[in-house]
Structure 1
Amino acid sequence: MRRAMSSIMRHCSARCSRLPALALLALSTALLAPVSHAQQLQTKFGCNMTRDEDGEKVIYGDTGEFRLNGDRIEALRWESALYRPTHGFECSIDTGDDPQAEVAQDGKKDNWRITLKDPAAARQQRGYDFFNHGMNCSIRLQRDGDKLHVIPSCPALCGSRGNFTELSVNLKTGECSYQDK
């Protein structure tokens, strides 16, 4: 940016000297200002649902917090649990797992993709060495108006469960809906 400013100053030498100092300051400020605003997401949620799966009562429970400023993660925490009458399963992710975010925009939708720098290390840190569900971890967050769709593919941070639960959260009301199986 500094190089661009000095180039502008060299090329307009005599003509620019007639510009008022305020106009020159405005030009330099405009050149240094970011072109677009970073996508931001700040939400906390708590969701639960009970449903019948093959004649068995199953309870889903999810709590989380996502605070993203562009590709910078300020806070990340998601616990996803599935309980059956005799046992339960859980998955969890937080900032201690060394997550990283990529940001994109698709029309009117804001999208983030959260991955782990080292999924194997995160899995080992949690003590998950008994079931090998793979080392993949990707969580897509898609904001469409007031709806946030949370789409996981992150078996690395699940103990004996295959994956986190896919869900949607209304950012205004806090109402949750779970993806049908």
Structure 2
Amino acid sequence: MRRHFFLRHFAATITLFFSAALLHPVNAQELQTKFGCNTTRTENGEKVIYADDGEIHLNGNKIDTFRWESDQYRTLHGFDCSVDESDEPVAEVTESGTTPGWRVTLKNAAAARDRRGFDFYNHGKNCSIRLQREGDTLSIKPTCPALCGSRVNFTELSVNLKTGVCQHEE
């Protein structure tokens, strides 16, 4: 009887261990950040303001929160790009040596563009956002003209993961 109890308890323990390992992989990559920044530049003699605000929470390939608005204001007009969960983003963990990262794409970028009414500019139907973490810095490198209306793309930037302060790349 003791042996039967031991075997049943051992089997239950092994099952619980493997279930927990499947739910929470040991080397899952996680990212949680909120950021906001403004940068003013002069381009071709014109004042241009770049403003970005976002929140990203990733757990491996699972997206808990993905929201980013990227604006560009000029003297007489402005442009914006935005992406959020309604655009059906999909995350893929990427490994480049010891540098953790992700590639975020949209399940259907063309449908997301059409939903926003951006059918009058030919900027393509693709969207890819690369996130690369190195120490406390997260680099955000977009190639996502599908969600930008008349603007060519989101602004490339880097975020300090401890402070949330970001910096626009030139």
Question: TM-score, with normalisation over the residues of structure 1?
Answer: 0.82
> What is the SS of the residue equivalent to 2:76?
coil
Determine the C-alpha separation between the residues in 2 that align with 1:31 and 1:80: 42
Superposed displacement of residue 108, structure 1: 2.7
1:120-176, Cα deviation, whole Å (9 max, x unpaired)? 110010011221100010001111111010000000000100000000000112222
The range that moved more, 102-111 or 129-138, is: 102-111
Q: CA deviation at 1:28?
A: 5.0
Q: Is the 8 A contact 2:33 2:164 kept in 1?
A: no
Aligned pairs for 1:22-61 (under 5 A) are 27=14, 29-32=16-19, 33-34=21-22, 36-61=26-51
Aligned to 1:117: 107
Q: How many residues align?
A: 164
Q: CA deviation at 1:118?
A: 0.8
Aligned to 1:133: 123
* Residue ranges of structure 2 left out of the alignment (5+ in a row): none
Partner amino acid, structure 2, of 1:156: A
Q: Given the alignment of the two structures, is residue 97 of structure 1 paired with residue 90 of structure 2, yes or no?
A: no
Counterpart of 1:121 in 2: which secondary structure?
helix
Instruction: Determine if contact 2:67/2:83 at 8 Å carries over to the other structure.
Output: yes
Secondary structure at 1:100's aligned position in 2? Answer: strand
Distance 2:163 2:14 in 1: 43
2:97 and 2:16 mapped to 1: Cα distance?
Answer: 29
Amino acid at match of 1:96: S
Residue 96 of structure 1 deviates from its aligned partner by 0.3
The residue that corresponds to 1:14 in the other structure is none
For 1:91, the aligned partner's letter is: C
What's the TM-score once normalised by structure 2's chain length? 0.87
Instruction: Give per-residue Cα distances to partners, 1:21-63, cap 9 Å, x unaligned.
Output: 5666655555552453321111111111001111111000000
Runs of 4+ that moved beyond 3 A: 20-32
* Structure 1 residues 1-181: aligned runs within 5 Å: 21=7, 27=14, 29-32=16-19, 33-34=21-22, 36-180=26-170
From the CA coordinates, give the structure whose radius of gyration is larger: 1
